Structure 1
Amino acid sequence: MKIYNVKIKTMDSDRRVIENGWVEITDGIISAVESGSPEAVTAEDINGNGRTVYPGFIDIHTHLGLSTSGVGMEGEDFNEESEPCTAHIRIVDGINPIDYSFELARKAGVTCCLVSPGSANPVAGSIAAVKTYGKRIDKMLVGTVGMKFSMGENPKLTYSDKEDAPYTRMAVAGIIREALIKAQKYGEAVERAMGSEEDMPEFDMKSEALLPVLRGEVKAHFHCHRADDIFTAIRIAKEFELDYVLIHCTDGHIIADELAEEEASCVIGPVICDRCKPEMANLTPANAGILSSHGIKVAICTDHAEVPIEYLPLSAAIAVKNGLDYEKGIEAITCTAAEIAGISDRVGSVKTGLDADLTLFSGDPLDVMVSPDMVICGGKII
């Protein structure tokens, strides 16, 4: 299938704009991105009539499918509050892809998202990148891309109510360190055993789950709002040499110079919300723009269901209205989101070899009055 007579915002490493071009899709993969017109077209090919092609949008931090719309408590599966360290839980086991929110995501042009456990636990479990189109999560899965760690207020409130640790920020950090140190020692023991069943340590599922984080195979996603929690997250990441991402980063605008020095990656959001708890007192829609102006990589998220996922483009627009460069705003929900998530080899750009996740717009995708004219996921018009 070819899409021709279109402007193409490639969002690739060169951030190319092809004023008049065409895209070819073969077996769900982008097989050509060219200027001009294809030599031949068929009945199945699409005349874009001057529309603009963008990569499908990416929401890098959500709880999509973990809180089923309209169900209430029975459908809430994002926080396993039985113990403060649940590194072993796999997020794919909790996602309901039939949730209506997936359809709303697609209609808004969001073709891929990261689904994370909630922030009740200091060590909360795995994070998966998934497509928003499909019926079976196994077929929608891009991959396991991270481990969720939570700093500050949420773990404290969750477990102090249960009369269990952590009561303090010190204990939150201590639980994370303990789990990582235990996983380190477990990994070292496995290596020493060199495959010998007799010498192998007793199987530890939590430590097994943390080994890819320690090896840098997946990223550590730290839920952190307040400046001191952000710095604690960075401190722990540096101690264990973790490849990390700062999620929410509400106080980021106050410490932007320090974060630039650390070359941190920040995921900002939710943008459309109130200051609903003490650690969000410094919330401002100018956050993303201030961080970006310091040279920091910034992605925008909804934190769905905190803000419904269909408002991802609107969230980016509000960040642009409050100082984020317009092109950076588009990047924050396409290529930069993919780069921060570690999935830029699959999505985030209109580039040969990547998944054919595309949107076609007649107008500005950050205009609240504009919706995509066409959404394609995995080469299928959805």
Structure 2
Amino acid sequence: MKVLKTKKLYVGDGSVKENVYIGFEGSEIVHVGDETGGTYLGEFEVVTPAFIDPHSHIGMDRAGEPWYEEEANETMDSILPYLNAEESVYMDDKAFEESVDWGVLYSVVLPGSGNMIGGRAALLRNWKRNIDEAFVKYVGVKAAMGYNPRSTTSWRGTRPYTRMGAVALFRQALSKAQADLEKMRKGKVTWDELDPISKALIPVLEGRLPFRIHVHKEDDIAIIKRLAKSFGFKYTIDHACDVHTEEGFRLIKSLGVPLIYGPIDSHPYKVELKHESYKNVKLLIENMPEVTAIMSDHPVVLQRNSYLQLRFFMKYGMSFAEAIKLITSNAAKIANINAGEVKVGKLASLVAWDGEPYVLGSTPQLVIGEGEIVRS
């Protein structure tokens, strides 16, 4: 067993412990408590769970490459649920290395939002060298509402010019998949006879994968509510950056679905973001869904800096112990991974710091990914 001691432990569930020993064997934490034997790795000021980014395009939109070589959006058609995000990821994107330097060990990588349905979202281990080692699982199917899918009329395939056109394409694809699922249940068709779009959407209709829905404005969120009622799919709200009223945040909370908020430190570069402001965080805190996380949307906010967005939650009254849940335990729930908390039975993915992570100048001294020392 490998063991380290910390003066302060942010568990990841909102609690804090002092002067504890953390032991792990293989990829799993096996001890959190009093002094214990084992291979001693040292004493540190602070330990936190490794950070998890629940929404990014890291490895697809790559550092050091011109914009026209990015691979976050496939332009051949607007309904492409059968795409796999990780198949456009290069693990030699130096952003992965820099993310690991700052304790971000997991990324949910999604296709971009230029398509109404863009493909499967992949959970990746940031510290691995190739995509086979990095890939963990699929954690959703990307969809998009609002301006982005209707802004791509120059791309190939059938393209919407309006929001109502985009929603119509979305509804058409789901209706077709729903009809195909019913035919298959009745024995009228086999799985092999279904087209790739229906095959990719049936797991969503059956509740095995959620839609990960890019959406900014309150009206588009209301449309999602209507569609989910019609088709019964599970989903997350990703972004919601234009929501700026108490009524809007109450609507999101009433849906009972996870919210992946942000990015907060980005520039509002389009009309549907005209109400974006860090000041909206105050309303979010007052009306926060049970499972709320924050994103980098890398490269919109560099993933290595995603944890710095927690300062806005602290500004409006959250303790750091509570705020860190937004990039640890809550993000782990969304990504469906047994991490995000420093507890027995959880994956040994954690970060040892030389000071409080929210203090300018503090830096990780030891980063452990599933029991493997990846930075020292």
Query: Same fold per TM (> 0.5)?
Result: yes
Distance 1:64 1:378 in 2: 21
Deviation at 1:353? 2.3
Deviation at 1:172? 1.1
Distance 2:281 2:197 in 1: 34
Q: Does the residue aligned with 1:159 lie in a helix, a strand or coil?
A: coil
Q: Does the residue aligned with 1:158 lie in a helix, a strand or coil?
A: coil
Match of 1:41 in 2: 38
Q: Which of 184, 204, 227 is equivalent to 1:236?
A: 227
Match of 1:127 in 2: 121
Q: Which of 133, 141, 151 is equivalent to 2:135?
A: 141
Unaligned runs of 5+ in 1: none
User: TM-score, structure 1 length as denominator?
Assistant: 0.91
Deviation at 1:366? 2.1
Q: Does 1:352 align with 2:344?
A: yes
Match of 2:56 in 1: 62
Distance 1:259 1:325 in 2: 23
Question: Could you tell me whether the CA contact under 8 Å between 2:293 and 2:331 is conserved in 1?
Answer: yes
Distance 2:224 2:216 in 1: 11
Q: Does the residue aligned with 2:82 lie in a helix, a strand or coil?
A: coil
Q: Does the residue aligned with 1:332 lie in a helix, a strand or coil?
A: helix
Number of aligned pairs? 370
- Name which of structure 1's ranges 297-306 and 255-264 shifts more when overlaid on structure 2: 255-264
1:62-112, Cα deviation, whole Å (9 max, x unpaired): 001001211114631110011110111111211111110000110111011
Match of 2:284 in 1: 291
Distance 1:328 1:21 in 2: 19
Match of 2:263 in 1: 270
User: TM-score, structure 2 length as denominator?
Assistant: 0.92
Q: Does 1:23 align with 2:15?
A: no
Q: Which of 310, 315, 332 is equivalent to 1:321?
A: 315
Q: Does the residue aligned with 2:360 lie in a helix, a strand or coil?
A: coil
Deviation at 1:304? 0.2
Question: Could you tell me whether the CA contact under 8 Å between 1:180 and 1:210 is conserved in 2?
Answer: yes
1:1-382 correspondence runs (5 A): 1-6=1-6, 7-12=8-13, 15-33=14-32, 35-38=33-36, 40-42=37-39, 45-49=40-44, 51-73=45-67, 75-159=69-153, 164-193=158-187, 202-254=193-245, 255-296=248-289, 297-322=291-316, 324-343=318-337, 346-382=338-374
Deviation at 1:116? 0.4
Distance 1:311 1:223 in 2: 21
Distance 1:201 1:250 in 2: 41
Distance 1:48 1:218 in 2: 41
1:176-212, Cα deviation, whole Å (9 max, x unpaired): 1111111111122222229xxx766723111111111
Q: Does the residue aligned with 1:112 lie in a helix, a strand or coil?
A: strand
Tell me: CA distance 1:200–1:105, structure 2 relative to 1, closer, same or farther (3 Å): closer
Distance 2:191 2:21 in 1: 56
Tell me: CA distance 1:94–1:163, structure 2 relative to 1, closer, same or farther (3 Å): closer
1:204-238, Cα deviation, whole Å (9 max, x unpaired): 11111111111111211110011111211222222
- Name which of structure 1's ranges 243-252 and 199-208 shifts more when overlaid on structure 2: 199-208
Tell me: CA distance 1:278–1:217, structure 2 relative to 1, closer, same or farther (3 Å): same
Letter of the 1:256 partner, please give it: F
Deviation at 1:158? 0.6
Distance 2:159 2:295 in 1: 30
Unaligned runs of 5+ in 2: none
Letter of the 2:371 partner, please give it: G
Distance 2:111 2:155 in 1: 20
Percent identity, aligned pairs only, is 31
Deviation at 1:160? 5.9
1:349-369, Cα deviation, whole Å (9 max, x unpaired): 112222211001122212232
- Name which of structure 1's ranges 120-129 and 225-234 shifts more when overlaid on structure 2: 225-234
Question: Could you tell me whether the CA contact under 8 Å between 2:109 and 2:123 is conserved in 1?
Answer: yes
1:321-380, Cα deviation, whole Å (9 max, x unpaired): 35555333211111111123333xx21111222221100112221223222121111211
Letter of the 2:314 partner, please give it: V
1:233-270, Cα deviation, whole Å (9 max, x unpaired): 22222222222111111133421122222223211111
Q: Does the residue aligned with 1:134 lie in a helix, a strand or coil?
A: coil
Q: Does the residue aligned with 1:66 lie in a helix, a strand or coil?
A: coil
CA RMSD of aligned residues (A): 2.0
Letter of the 1:269 partner, please give it: G
Distance 1:303 1:323 in 2: 25
Distance 2:267 2:140 in 1: 28
